[in-house]
Amino acid sequence: MTHILAIESSCDETAAAVVACGGGFDVKSNVIASQIDLHRRYGGVVPEIASRMHIEAVTGVTEQALKEACLTFDGIDAVAVTYAPGLVGALLVGVGYAKSLAFALKKPLLAVHHIEAHIAANYIASPELKPPFVCLVASGGHATVALARDYAEYDVLAVTRDDAPGEAFDKIARVLGLGYPGGPAVQEAAKNGRTDAFVFPRVYFDGAMDFSFSGVKTAVINTIHNYAQKNLPIPLPDIAASFQYAVCDVLSERLVACAVRAGVKSIALAGGVASNHLLRELSQVRAKEAGLNFYCPPPVLCTDNAAMTAVRGYFEFVAKKFAKTDLNAVATLSISV
Amino acid sequence: MKHLISQSEKDTFEIGSDIGRVLKAGGVVAVCGELGSGKTVLSKGIAAAFGIGGVHSPTFTLVNEYHGEMSIYHFDAYRIDTQGWTDSGFDEYLFGDGVCIIEWADNVGGILPENTVWVHISRGGGDDFRTITIEGEGF
């Protein structure tokens, strides 16, 4: 067994995990220190606060991960770290820490792309899943449909041309006064609403599978304005339900369409928005209709975590692709080829 | 000062392109307007004037960089104030070699340079109707 210690700090979670890899993935520990409470009053992640909190948390979180795995640094075979994409100041904390650790311990350093790590979370939850498959990674900062050709080879099939889905949820929650983070808040508000109360627009592009969520966002805001102007009470549950349906409808439809076009047998979800119940349900139903297998990690592996980073890092370890000490954080980086 | 009317996303995009055509290296555009008013669409138009496509929301990363015939630095200042702006080292972009587009610029208005072009987008008179005012160097 290969024990990978992984560090993840691309946004507002400081995470460390130890995963025993080889013949499956055994998550020995998966520690996440969330900063959500700190960012809530700003309605989103504040980069400077995020970076400072990562610095304060990273050592403790790593020690906790080792302790829970009943290991010391000597028992680690390699150090994996998320180096892109994300908030550059936040990423730098994890990258700097992991580099020093690898150097001091004389262990290989494994550089991991955050989106690929999200996809790899599926290997933990579903050991039977093997490439090729098509995965939707949907979160606060990302919307990518990727073809996993192999464990370390990906093609991007679709991206968002404006807002990420989680960002759309955050912005609509802000307008509806539901608080941050927007995903769970909108989902909760939608429980007692009708999904067909309003038909919000779905955007399609000629010849591309890309997403656009700014149109649906504007349409929701227009609806709210129209009620406000007429001094009518805003039907919050109906708006939340119809908005959530519009977003999940497009995401699941496009995921399945990409899979059919790519000719694969399986689809998967990943990223924070993959915790959304409706997205899971619609994707599962559509997968079944199209004769595809459907996979989705549990919520703890959908949110940012380091167990997924360890798993993606393991494939680099196997390929002996070790990062050097000049590894740097990169804010914007497409998925590797 | 210029007052313009936009009746569609396309209009807003083209107003952005018109602004882009008069910008030079070191130019700064401050874009203000509520959520869903078209700030990112206008920004896409500005970038298009320099042949740059693929512009998307900077909300998550706070700044997106695009490099073409001109470098475009696209900011979302919703979650920061002047202190956060300075702490993040964003000042360096303002006096650099490219064009800065700053959404929610009202939050950092006090520290933007004198040559800043201010764009205010407001709603009214129908779902797609926007009044766009532009003031600053060249307008």
Give which of A201, A130, A141, A132 is closest to A169, Cα–Cα: A141
Taking contacts as CB-CB distances below 8 angstroms, the residues of chain B near A89 are 88
Kindly report, residue by residue over A268-277, the tens digit of the pLDDT.
999 999 999 9
- Residue A334's pLDDT band, with cuts at 50, 70 and 90, is confident
pLDDT at A45: 76
Check pLDDT > 80 for residue B41.
yes
Q: DSSP label at A139?
A: S
Check pLDDT > 70 for residue A281.
yes
Phi, psi of A172 (to 5 degrees): -70, -40
Distances, alpha carbon A12 to alpha carbons A88, A291, B95, B102, in Å? 12, 37, 30, 23
- Mean pLDDT computed over B40-60: 94
The tally of CA atoms less than 13 A away on the side-chain side of residue A3 is: 16
**CB pair distance less than 8 Å for B35 and A217:** yes
What is the rounded CA–CA span in Å between residue B101 and residue A141?
20
ipTM computed for the complex: 0.83
Kindly report, residue by residue over A59-75, the tens digit of the pLDDT.
999 999 999 999 999 99
Taking contacts as CB-CB distances below 8 angstroms, the residues of chain A near B104 are none
Strand (E) or helix (H) holding A158: strand A153-159
Rounded to a whole number of angstroms, the distance from the CA of B88 to the nearest CA of chain A is 7
- Residue B60's pLDDT band, with cuts at 50, 70 and 90, is confident
pLDDT at A286: 98
Residue B87 in contact with partner chain A when CB distance is under 8 A: yes
Interface probe with B: pick from A332, A333, A334, most Cβ of B within 10 Å:
A332
CA torsion sign, B53 to A137 to A277 to A141? negative
What is the rounded CA–CA span in Å between residue A21 and residue A26?
6
What is the rounded CA–CA span in Å between residue B43 and residue A75?
51
Phi, psi of A181 (to 5 degrees): -75, 150
Check pLDDT > 90 for residue A207.
no
Check pLDDT > 90 for residue B96.
no
Kindly report, residue by residue over A161-177, the tens digit of the pLDDT.
999 999 999 999 999 99
Distances, alpha carbon A116 to alpha carbons A4, A77, A84, A152, A250, in Å? 16, 21, 10, 8, 22
pLDDT at A285: 98
Instruction: Domains for chain A: give ranges and CATH numbers.
Output: 2-119+302-318 (3.30.420.40), 131-296 (3.30.420.40)
Taking contacts as CB-CB distances below 8 angstroms, the residues of chain B near A86 are 61
Return the exposure string of A282-301: e unless at least 16 CB atoms fall within 10 Å of the residue's CB, then b: bbbebbeeeebbbbbbeeeb
Is there a contact between A180 and A196 (Cβ–Cβ < 8 Å)?
no
Rounded to a whole number of angstroms, the distance from the CA of B67 to the nearest CA of chain A is 13
Check pLDDT > 80 for residue A336.
no
What is the rounded CA–CA span in Å between residue A59 and residue A61?
6
Is there a contact between A99 and A109 (Cβ–Cβ < 8 Å)?
yes
Helix axes A165-176, A236-262, angle to 10 degrees: 170
**CB pair distance less than 8 Å for B56 and A161:** yes
Is there a contact between A169 and A180 (Cβ–Cβ < 8 Å)?
no
Kindly report, residue by residue over A24-70, the tens digit of the pLDDT.
999 999 999 988 877 777 767 777 788 888 999 999 999 999 999 99
Check pLDDT > 90 for residue B112.
yes
> Is pLDDT larger for residue B43 or for residue A43?
B43
pLDDT at B80: 85
**CB pair distance less than 8 Å for B36 and A222:** yes
What is the rounded CA–CA span in Å between residue B108 and residue B110?
6
Taking contacts as CB-CB distances below 8 angstroms, the residues of chain A near B9 are 215
pLDDT at A337: 47
Kindly report, residue by residue over A113-148, the tens digit of the pLDDT.
999 999 999 999 999 999 999 999 999 988 999 999
- Mean pLDDT computed over A251-267: 98
